[in-house]
Structure 1
Amino acid sequence: MIRIEYPSFPFRIREEEGREFIFDELRKVWIRLTPEEWVRQNFLQYLVQVMRYPASLIAVERELKLGELKKRFDVLVYNRQHQPWMMVECKAMEVNLDETVLQQVLRYNIAVPVPFLVITNGHYCAGFEKREQQLQLIDTLPVFVN
């Protein structure tokens, strides 16, 4: 597992009609604050603040097509050539990172091939690098090369 120490960040949270919303700094929109969204927002800040991934090269919750199915990935990081580079699947903290979660991100990887795949539930984070059509477990997130 990859060790993640989340940075302190002044998230903007508001309540509206009994529901909480969080301001997504990358998308510049208010999003319903669910347990999965809390993990996603913290992980995004980790990528931007700690790992120094350029926010302009990170896509959040965009649609992809798997055959006739429409799905949404959580986070996709592009390299400097604007090619998909790393895909992240976020789950709520109470969700175990098991084979089902890994298979989900692998299915998304069919539609959007990337060399790095990451799954996280906030507490735990697992990363994989695709090498010669095989997954290799990695112990740190890849460094973003300028």
Structure 2
Amino acid sequence: MQALNFPKFSFRFKNSENKVSIFDPIRKKFVILQPEEWVRQHCLQVLMTDKKYPKSLINVEKELRVNDLKKRYDIVVFNPDGSIHIIVECKAPSIPVNQKTFDQIAQYNLTLKATYLMVTNGLDHYYCQMDFEAERYNFLKDIPDYNL
């Protein structure tokens, strides 16, 4: 897999039927290693290892409804009270992060109401904090570390 703009992490891989899988510590299973999954697993490691978010507050690839449409988010980090702290949208490295990508995560956030958004293709990372009163997002250098 392609080198990404993340710190180096250790991953568990397995080969089966000529397909490589990577272990997802949140879903607790091996998943087929696709370019977007490679980015998602790096994001999970950043959240758990660098930012110190507990596994118990992280959820991966769940369905949500946006205007009666079924969508799937990549990663959500919850607050201890169950509200949503961060939404992460992962794209394959070949997919540029552009306005369309931000529109997608902003649309999800109409339903989820997360405080922070992260959009990445593994090469370029963008972070923002929602300003719900002004109905806009403010770009940040990074997402905050976990603190209770």
Question: What is the TM-score with the length of structure 1 in the denominator?
Answer: 0.92
Instruction: Show the counterpart of 2:30.
Output: 30
Q: Which piece of structure 1 moves more, 74-83 or 14-23?
A: 14-23
Q: Which piece of structure 1 moves more, 67-76 or 11-20?
A: 11-20
Whose RCO is larger (CA < 8 A, sep 6+)? Answer: 1
Instruction: Show the counterpart of 1:46.
Output: 46
Structure 1 position 143, deviation (Å): 2.3
Instruction: Show the counterpart of 1:85.
Output: 85
- Indicate conservation of the 8 Å contact 2:117/2:127, yes or no: yes
Q: 1:7 to 1:46 in 2, by over 3 A?
A: farther
Structural mapping, 1:57-68, within 5 Å: 57-68=57-68
CA RMSD of aligned residues (A): 1.2
Q: 1:7 to 1:81 in 2, by over 3 A?
A: farther
Is 1:104 the counterpart of 2:117 in the alignment? no
Identity, in percent, stands at: 35
- Output the CA distance in 2 between the equivalents of 1:110 and 1:8: 33
Question: What is the TM-score with the length of structure 2 in the denominator?
Answer: 0.91
Instruction: Show the counterpart of 1:136.
Output: 138
Q: 1:52 to 1:7 in 2, by over 3 A?
A: farther
1:46-90 CA distance string (max 9 Å, x none): 110011011110000011011221111000001121211110000
- Output the CA distance in 1 between the equivalents of 2:20 and 2:6: 25
User: Which consecutive unaligned segments of at least 5 residues does structure 1 have?
Assistant: none
- Output the CA distance in 2 between the equivalents of 1:44 and 1:8: 10
User: Which consecutive unaligned segments of at least 5 residues does structure 2 have?
Assistant: none
Instruction: Show the counterpart of 1:75.
Output: 75
SS at match of 1:6: coil
- Output the CA distance in 2 between the equivalents of 1:57 and 1:47: 10
1:143 partner amino acid: D
1:145 partner amino acid: N
Task: Report the number of matched residues.
Answer: 142
Give 4+ residue runs of structure 1 displaced > 3 Å after superposition.
none
SS at match of 2:95: coil
